[in-house]
Amino acid sequence: MLILQILLIMQSIWETESLDLCLLPYGCISTGNRIGMIEIVKDATTIANIQQSVVGSTGAFKDEILHQWLRDKCVGEDKFQQAVERFLYSCGGYCVATYVLGIGDRHNDNIMITESGNLFHIDFGHILGNYKSFMGISKEWVPFVLTPDFLYVMGTSGKKSSPHFQKFQDVCVKAYLALRHHTNLLIILFSMMLMTGMPQLTSKEDIEYIREALTVGRCEDEAQRHLLDQIEICREKGWMVQINWFVHLVLGIKQGVEKRST
C-alpha cells in the first residue's frame, strides 16, 4: 500500500511537469494482518506468461516475443503505434520509480502489461535497496529492469538506437529531474512511516537510499548523466536479467508439474 501510494504521489508530481507516464497504481486495501484486497487490472498478463506461452522457458531469451504479442493484440498499425508509445512512457515511469524507491525482486512474474501496451509492476516486498541475496551475493544485477525484449518493442537491438529509444531516454530524464525537485517530500513521507514496523523500513539509513538514488548534492547536469549511465548499464547487462528470468520460468514450470503430480 505504501509503494502504491508513493506511485500516486509521483504521478501527481509528473503531471505538474506535463508528464503522463501511464502508471497503473492499482487499488490495494489492507483488512488485517497479511489480509487484504487487490484490484484486478483487466486485459493484463505477466511478462512470464507471454514468454512461456510461445516457446516455454526459453522465451526469456526471445527478444521479439513481447513485440509480437503486442502487435497481435493491437489490430491495425495506428493502434499498434499507440501501444508502443504507451509502452515507452509506462516503461520509463516504472524504470525511474523503481530505481528511486530501490524496489528489488523484479522478475518476469511481477512485471505485467495490458493489451493496450501499458507496462506496470506489482509485488513490492523489497524496497529502499533491501534486496534479496544468495550466499551473501545480491540478486539485483541492474539498477532497474530494461531488458532486450523491452528495447525491441522500442525498435532497438544491441547497441543500435532508435527514435523511440531516444524519446524513452528523454522521458526518463524529465521524470527523474522532476522527482529531484521534490526530494524532501519523498523523504518526509517515508520518515513518517518509520514507526510502523515494516521490515524494509526500520531506520534513517533505509531512507538515505532515496537521497543517494536522487543524487542529492549534485548539479542537474550530473544528475542527468547519472541516470543515462544507469540506462546504459541496463542495456549492457540485459542478458544477465534474461538468465534470471529463464531460471524463474524453469522453476515455475517445475513447481507446476510437481503440484499437478500430487
pLDDT by residue for the chain (262 residues), tens only, comes to 889 999 999 999 999 999 999 999 999 998 988 899 999 999 999 999 999 988 889 999 999 999 999 999 999 999 999 999 999 999 999 999 999 999 998 999 999 999 999 999 999 988 888 766 554 555 678 999 999 999 999 999 877 889 999 999 999 999 999 999 999 999 998 888 877 777 777 778 888 989 999 999 999 999 999 999 999 999 999 999 999 999 989 987 544 434 443 3
43-261 CATH fold: 1.10.1070
pTM of this structure: 0.91
**pLDDT per residue as tens digits for the range 86-96:** 999 999 999 99
Could you tell me the maximum CA-CA distance found in the chain, to the nearest angstrom?
Answer: 59
Half-sphere exposure of 210 (CA within 13 A, CB side): 22
User: Where in the chain are the domains?
Assistant: 43-261
Distance CA 247, CA 61 (A): 11
Distance CA 231, CA 239 (A): 14
Strand 35-38 to 28-32 pairing = antiparallel
